[in-house]
Structure 1
């Protein structure tokens, strides 16, 4: 697994590595001796201790047995799984297609009362029309080389839009103006997507702000992120989904969102920007 760009994920991985290293030292074993007991090359021990290689459940059980600490294996395995879930590569998540991931997102949104969203590339999933979502997911599937279940995945993503209308959810969304202008789908699908944004704007559950190209930047354009009830941020990069739960980092995302919100326009100014983007498609 590549090193995470999120310090919280990397810090958790390194903390697990330190715990394993302490087990070895408490057992009075050198790296070479531990490796011999585990039946693997000493370089594997080094990679695990540095946090460069995530240990499997089998690795952890073998390590604990070698150190005479079998009673700690279950706790360490649970910790390793939690660390692993913080940084998940899209190819791994989509190895059987995209539908399951979309359903998991729906479960997260069902639990969320207030979701702060910033996007700089495409509208958030709960705002996407089927036509736009299909075009986007087909591009992602082709790029990742993962199984094509786009029709099922689009249906699952479209189901998320129900939270705009039920359950007392609140979505505060900031978009860069580029989101309105990028030709992610064909002109007809883009027109449908832009008109849909106009349709959802009046909903009581929605606050939509657009950061114009002309805004004087106080916060630079960022990767897309979703802040769920101030307890978890989900960050989307090209290669991975990163879950951030460390309070210091959550505070950074909240502060960034506040700064981005100050640069945004709202109400009629948003409608004007969407109308201009629609006009550019003619």
Structure 2
């Protein structure tokens, strides 16, 4: 198996592999001996130890049994492996239940999150989208991935999540690029409604909105969009997959990145002027 496309997931896979290798060494066994005890070809044992083998629960139990590790050790490694499996989820797999269902799946996690730090370089953050904007965007996503369109229902579900903005229990620090204001999703009427809504939500006490102007002197370049949930998890979306980052060093890197981007953004009246100018340009 090739390296995982997510560096974060690959690192976690290699950390798990290192723990399995330590169990083997502590047991005084060679890789060939562990392979024989597990009933595997020796090449599989090599892939396991290099982090290039996706592992099942049965694989981990067999390895632990061969090395004389107790059930608690096996259970801990199995739990770690299952978290690893959910860290990188392909969109096509997630979208099988429809886009409406995809909007609903994130709600339990978001309800448990008290602080959001969000950066978006090219599209309006989901929390701020109007139903018209969301329907236009989700309709294009459905067409691109050739999945049945439930765009209107999915858009309604996306807008319903905005109740979290008004709960008074959460804080949303959001930074967007000026390109978000100028990238047309839907027609001019949809965009005008979306930008007008943005002016409304930025006045909420739970929301801090910053816009990085085209003319900003940039110590930090535009990067992929990402959401920092609390202090221990980052979610980012690529064209092919949703990636969840939980490794402390990587979470810290995204926190530093958000701080850099925030330092370039304008807020308050200056941000409102950029939004108003984008509406006028329509």
In 1, Cα distance between the equivalents of 2:138 and 2:93? 16
- Separation in 2 of the partners of 1:251 and 1:75? 25
The aligned counterpart of 1:110 is: 111
Mapped to 2, the partners of 1:37 and 1:248 lie a distance apart of 37
Q: CA deviation at 1:152?
A: 3.6
Counterpart position of 2:92: 91
- Residues 1:250 and 2:254 are matched in the alignment: no
In structure 2, the partner of 1:124 is 125
Structure 2 partner of 1:240 = 241
Tell me how far apart the structure 2 counterparts of residues 38 and 149 of structure 1 sit (CA, whole Å): 47
Partner of 2:223: 222
Comparing 49-58 with 247-256, which one deviates more in the overlay?
247-256
Residue number in structure 2 paired with 1:208: 209
Contact 1:129-1:193 at 8 Å conserved across structures:
yes
Partner Cα separation in structure 2 for residue 166 and residue 111 of structure 1: 12
Partner of 2:48: 48
> Which position in structure 2 is the counterpart of 1:10?
10
Unaligned residue ranges in structure 1 (runs of 5+): none
* Aligned equivalents of 2:200, 2:214: Cα separation in 1: 23
The 8 Å contact of residues 116 and 172 in structure 2, kept in 1 or not, is answered as: yes
Change (3 A) 1:63 1:138: farther
Taking only aligned residues, the RMSD between alpha carbons, in angstroms, comes to 2.4
**Structure 1 residues 42, 192: CA separation in 2 closer, same or farther (over 3 Å shift)?**
farther
- The residue that corresponds to 1:136 in the other structure is 137
Instruction: Report if the CA contact (8 A) 1:208-1:266 is conserved.
Output: yes
Whether the 8 Å CA contact 1:20–1:49 is kept in 2: the answer is yes
Q: CA deviation at 1:256?
A: 1.7
State whether residues 175 and 261 of structure 2, in contact with CA within 8 Å, keep that contact through their aligned partners in structure 1: yes
Query: 1:39 Cα shift?
Result: 4.1
CA contact (8 A) 1:106 1:157 kept: no
The size of the alignment, in residue pairs, is: 280
Aligned-pair CA distance for 1:57? 1.7
What whole-Å deviation, never above 9, does each CA across 1:94-147 have from its counterpart, x for those lacking one?
232333432232222222222111110211111011111122222223333445
Q: In 1, distance between residues paired with 2:50 and 2:96?
A: 28
Q: In the alignment, what sits opposite 1:174? A: 175
Pick closer, same or farther for the CA change 1:99–1:32 going to 2, 3 Å.
farther
Asked if structure 2 preserves the Cα contact closer than 8 Å seen for 1:120 and 1:224, the reply is yes
Q: Which runs of 5+ in 2 are unaligned?
A: none
Task: For residue 155 of structure 1, report the CA deviation from its aligned partner.
Answer: 2.6
SS at 1:241 equivalent: strand
Q: For residues 30-82 of structure 1, give each alpha carbon's deviation from its aligned partner in whole angstroms, at most 9, with x where no partner exists.
A: 44444444444433333222112220223223333444446243222111012
Q: Secondary structure at the match of 1:15?
A: helix
Q: Which moved more, 1:210-219 or 1:29-38?
A: 29-38
Q: Distance in 1 between matches of 2:69 and 2:81?
A: 16
Partner Cα separation in structure 2 for residue 231 and residue 23 of structure 1: 28
- How far did 1:232 drift? 2.0
User: How far, CA to CA, are the matches of 1:223 and 1:151 in structure 2?
Assistant: 27
